Amino acid sequence: MTGITITQFIIEEQRQAKGATGEFTLLLNDIVTACKKISLAVNKGALLGTMGSLESENVQGEVQKQLDVITNDIFISSLEWSGHLAGMASEEMEEPYEIPARYPRGKYLILFDPLDGSSNVNVNISVGTIFSILRAPEGVTHPKVEDFMQPGTQQVCAGYALYGSSTMLVLTTGRGVNGFTLDREVGEFYLTHPNMTIPADTHEFAVNTSNQRHWEAPVQRYVEECLKGKEGPRGRDFNMRWVASMVAEVHRILIRGGLFMYPLDSNLKEKGGKLRIMYEANPMSMIVEQAGGASSTGRERILDIQPSSLHQRVPVILGSRNEVERLVAYHKA
């Protein structure tokens, strides 16, 4: 295997950043290591007997898979000791994770969903890890919940790992989006998808149509027009996809375009939406926007939202820019 490794790529990015100390680079390397470990745990799940569910629920009220807990522990143990973080927060934990006193503190905060799409592990569908990096407020070494409450525009970095037919890591530091594929024989990620971009137009959309009867009128209108195809007002046929794994859905959009929706509906209204802003919506929105796409709740840009709680939920509509803008316009009509 030849090419640029993720380590080389990150270091070269660091050299272009004025005043860089290397701390952020080392943090990213620790995240890469965590994703390698999780990839191994996911791929060996059935062999190790870790594919089942537990009797416990996470803070979201969702039944935890064994791999939810295992991958959460992997992420924590891979990062807590490094000295680059002031604090950590996980979708699987109600409160932020306190860095043990025996370890030094750094200037960054990380939020993560250790195993997105874990309901799919038993049927061997792609799952992933999502992460978001923020700067800790100046002088804060023991962050509280409010220190994590930063809008998505404040993210220093966002990324995800996809555990599918191959393991990939997709990353943005605000300078475009790049994808890396794990060579298992070498144990290293190589740059395979440089400068990933999302086409502005698409003929694919992804939505869980079992919720159709609960959708608001703008989403009903959009999907109905797509399904009417060439004979309808859009004048062309659309394909519908649904994997029920946000990482897999967003990755497909980065590769060939498309629209992903988990819109507000009458069942979700009291919760505010389905997806968590801090662990899913913000990092994925940063990636999508950096690739030339757009991301919205239907009413506002997701990255502009001021979070109000650690596990806040929001509606999500993201992907090819022209389709997102059309759906936003329907909400305003």
The domain segmentation of the chain, as residue ranges, is: 6-193, 204-332
The dihedral region occupied by 83, where left means phi > 0, alpha psi between -120 and 50, and beta the remainder, is left
What does each of the 333 residues of the chain score in pLDDT, given as a tens digit? 468 999 999 999 888 877 777 899 999 999 999 999 999 988 886 555 555 555 555 555 555 678 888 999 999 999 999 999 999 999 999 999 999 999 999 999 999 999 998 777 777 788 999 999 999 999 999 999 999 999 999 999 999 999 998 999 999 999 999 999 999 999 999 999 999 999 999 999 999 999 999 999 999 999 999 999 999 999 999 999 999 899 999 999 999 999 999 999 999 999 999 999 999 999 999 999 999 999 999 999 999 999 999 999 999 999 999 999 999 999 998
Binding-site entries: 91, 113, 115-119, 208, 274, 280
Helix axes 66-79, 23-43, angle to 10 degrees: 150
Q: Do domains 6-193 and 204-332 have the same CATH topology?
A: no
Residue 38 to residue 26: CA distance in whole angstroms = 19
Binding-site entries for Mg(2+): 91, 113, 115-116, 280
Rg (CA), the chain: 19
Element (H, E) at 294: strand 294-296
CB burial string 278-290: b at 16+ within 10 A, e below: bbbbbbbbbbbbb
Residue 329 to residue 316: CA distance in whole angstroms = 15
Binding-site entries for substrate: 116-119, 208, 274
Structure token pair of residue 106: 């750094």
Q: For residue 250, give the amino acid letter.
A: V
Neighbouring C-beta atoms of residue 15, cutoff 10 Å: 8
Residue 18 to residue 307: CA distance in whole angstroms = 30
Structure token pair of residue 289: 């926007």
Fold classification of 6-193 (topology level): Fructose-1,6-Bisphosphatase; Chain A, domain 1 (3.30.540)
- Contact indicator for 128, 117 with CB cutoff of 8 Å: yes
Residue 276 to residue 280: CA distance in whole angstroms = 5
- Contact indicator for 74, 37 with CB cutoff of 8 Å: yes
The CATH architecture that domain 204-332 belongs to is: 3-Layer(aba) Sandwich (3.40)
